Structure 1
Amino acid sequence: MDEPDLSGQTVLVTGSAKGVGRELLLATAACGAATAVHYHTSADAAREAAADATERGASDATTVQGDVTDPDSVDGLFSAVEADLGSVDVLVNNVGAFAPAHWEEIDFETWNRVLETNVNGTYLCSKRALPAMRENGYGRIVNVGYASSEKGLVSPKNFPYFVAKAGVLMFTRMLAADTQDDGVTVNAVSPYVVENSEEFPDDLPRGRPAAYEDLIRPMLFFLDPDTGYVSGENLEIDGGWLPERV
């Protein structure tokens, strides 16, 4: 698949100073987009990512700070992107916290943080991006989910994360339906275990975690200006993993 031409478009990837978000953002930079590196606390890493984006071919690059769970902060970070690069044409909702412990050991503050970061962050950023997308008659939104949300994984560990990612996928489908006449597509990519994960199960499908490139190619498919009839879809990137109760 040829890489899409994203020149003339402004891309915002939340949580793009490090890890998966950084690699997704750099991929859009290589397609000629103007890129906004979002961070919450990792300012130095964000500046390095912006410099790397410029080297990869971004038409422009900036950094924006904000808490995606706070409406005022989200408005501020979008306003900063608009002032530097113009309105957001492409939004990738990547930020997501998790809590790898038995659900009965998780306090309410942790439970709430996981749901707020994954679900509320996706909602707030999408809501802030949509008015300009609708006005322009064009937009691409990709949400990062989790493979288990489509396969019914039942686990007492990481409970709020599974609940949150199921919510993200439902939000994806509902928003896709609501924007079908606006030139906007809304899709999701849902990995299982990615190469930057802190822990790896013993029975990884195909003997390895997902590489960044495994996520990048389907994300770029969804972001392609020529992929305007594909919306409301979730692509699981898990090597054929079939979960059982864990």
Structure 2
Amino acid sequence: MLAPDLSGRTALVTGSAKGVGRELLLAIATCGADVAVHYRTSDDAAAAVAETAREAGVDATTVQGDVTDPDEVDALFSAAESELGHVDVLVNNVGAFAPVHWEEMDFDTWNTVLETNLNGTYLCSKRALPAMREAGAGRIVNIGYASADRALVATKNFPYFVAKTGVLMFTRMLAADTTDDGITVNAVSPYVVENSDEFPDELPRDRPAAFEDLIQPTLFFLDPDSDYVSGANVEVSGGWLPERV
């Protein structure tokens, strides 16, 4: 597995108490970065992840907050900075998923999907940028969705596709806006992952993406030697073509 030297870095992965976020955070810790485990309600799980990260010989803390609330985003970053120093690696992983037809979705669910995926990415990136700019270095990786950059739409879970398209647009815009700051901004976009809520009848290569499949491109983007790669999007889809569905 790719293992860049991330010693001396501080990483915050949103939604890292469970699932994809947990695996990404632990992989980053294994590469030597101190880590902030973010959670909203899963405090026990977050504490367990932090303890596992410390076994890699790094410092780890937990930070709580709602990524759709500007004040809570500021507070969770302040907590991470107080314990570990400024955040120079940010992985925007939080994003609600609601696999129901758009007409059957109540407004709160619709809004939660849009806000957690898009607004959370915007708020956390905006909060992380000043310290990254001051340091002249930083890495942001946003979690997208396969084919979202081709305006993928479906009646089921429609706001998720809208939000992830926005995340990829935001990734490119922010990459262009930080070209002189020593910061890179990229995206990793899976299709179906091993812990996904739903699985289609047919999967590319007869399996979902494993956590390791997402870890590899993420670590590539975080590698100090990848400093000219910005505004990129790596699809982790096994070659899935939505037009075949």
TM-score, structure 2 as length reference: 0.98
Q: Which amino acid aligns with 2:60?
A: A
**2:122 alignment partner in structure 1:** 123
Query: In the alignment, what sits opposite 2:99?
Result: 100
Quote the Cα distance in structure 2 between the aligned partners of 1:163 and 1:2. 32
**Local SS of the residue matching 1:48:** helix
Q: Deviations over 1:163-183 (max 9, x none)?
A: 000000000000000000000
> Distance in 1 between the 2:219 and 2:111 partners?
31
- Listed as ranges, the gaps of 5+ residues in structure 1 are none
SS at structure 1 position matched to 2:224: coil
1:84-163 correspondence runs (5 A): 84-163=83-162
Alpha-carbon spacing, 1:155–1:54, altered in 2? closer, same or farther (3 Å): same
Mapped partners of 1:98, 1:193: distance in 2:
12
Partner residue in 1 for 2:71:
72
Cα distance per residue 1:89-147 (max 9 Å; x no partner):
10000000011111111122211111110000000000000000000000000000000
Structure 1 residue runs of 4 or more that deviate by more than 4 Å after TM superposition:
none
SS at match of 2:226: coil
Residues 1:16 and 2:16 aligned together:
yes
Gaps of 5+ in 2: none
How far the C-alpha of 1:245 sits from its partner, in A, is 7.4
CA displacement 1:178-218 (0-9 Å, x = unmatched):
00000000000000000011221111000000000000010
1:50-102, Cα deviation, whole Å (9 max, x unpaired): 011111x1420000000000000000000000000000010000000011111
Look up the match of 2:43: 43
With the length of structure 1 as denominator, give the TM-score of the two structures: 0.97
Amino acid at match of 1:159: F
> What's 2:178 paired with?
179
Q: 1:173, 1:219 → 2: CA distance?
A: 16
State the identity as a percent: 78
Q: Does the CA-based 8 Å contact 1:151-1:243 persist in structure 2?
A: no
**Do 2:220 and 2:226's aligned partners in 1 also have CA atoms closer than 8 Å?**
yes
